[in-house]
Amino acid sequence: MENNKKLVVYYSYTGHTKMIAESIQKKLGCDILEIKPVKPYSTDYQTVVDEEQNNESLNKTPEIQKIDKNLRDYDEIIIGSPVWWYTIAPVIRTFLKENDLSGKVIAPFATNAGWLGQTFQEIKRLCPSSKVEKGMDIVFTSDYHENQLVTSPDEIDNWINKL
């Protein structure tokens, strides 16, 4: 295993998290892995809101598609999630519960409209045998159709450069 081999793992509903994940991957020259649910979410945002609120999103672990990376090959996992109901997206929760990341450095980032909640604490809780670094809170405007960053690109670049 190479020293400090990194992997960006992310889930994105609106495209915000994907945009940041791909930027990190490009800047670091590392591998990237998109986590996808077996049953895709509706493309209608309000339908997703209604369904997830009814399913107690905080504990939900939807089935995810098989991943095509051997996580043992990586020292550092950069995990990106949108914030859903003040915590990680259910798809990321499933990934963290189903994969042993013991001994790895976890560098989380979260995309949201200004309500981070318990997102990073939940990642720490689900990765008790990992070293979870300080997370990067990346805020976009509250209109999910727009890709307008509120967080300064320089602040994001500074965080990436420390990875």
Q: What is the pLDDT of residues 89-127, one digit of tens each?
A: 999 999 999 999 999 999 999 999 988 999 999 999 999
The boundaries of the domain holding residue 127 are 6-161
Query: Does the structure show a pLDDT above 90 at 54?
Result: no
Question: To the nearest whole percent, how much of the chain has pLDDT over 70?
Answer: 91
Residue 37 CA to residue 137 CA, distance in Å, equals 24
Closest CA to 11 of 87, 103, 76: 87
| Distance (Å) of CA 34 to CA 47, 49, 117, 132 | 23, 22, 23, 20
Q: Which helix (H) or strand (E) holds 8?
A: strand 6-10
Under 8 Å between Cβ of 39 and 62:
yes
Give domain status of residue 68, yes or no: yes
Location of structure tokens 């995309």: 111
Q: Residues in the chain, how many? A: 163
73: confidence class by pLDDT, cuts 50, 70, 90: very high
The answer to whether residue 1 is domain-embedded is: no
When pLDDT is cut at 50, 70 and 90, the band that residue 1 belongs to is very low
Q: How many domains is the chain built from?
A: 1
Q: Which CATH number characterizes residue 33's domain? A: 3.40.50.360
pTM (2 d.p.): 0.91
12 assigned to some structural domain: yes
Q: Is residue 152 part of a domain?
A: yes
- Does residue 118 lie in a domain region? yes
The predicted-structure confidence for 141-160, as pLDDT tens digits, reads as follows 877 666 688 999 999 999 99
The answer as to whether 49 is a domain residue is yes
Cα-Cα-Cα-Cα torsion 32, 99, 131, 27, nearest 10 degrees, comes to: 0
Buried b (16+ CB within 10 A) or exposed e, 58-89: eebebebeeeeeeeeebebbbbbbbbbbebbb
- C-alpha neighbours within 13 Å on the C-beta side of residue 112: 19
Is 76:4 a contact under the CB 8 Å cutoff?
yes
| 63, part of any domain | yes
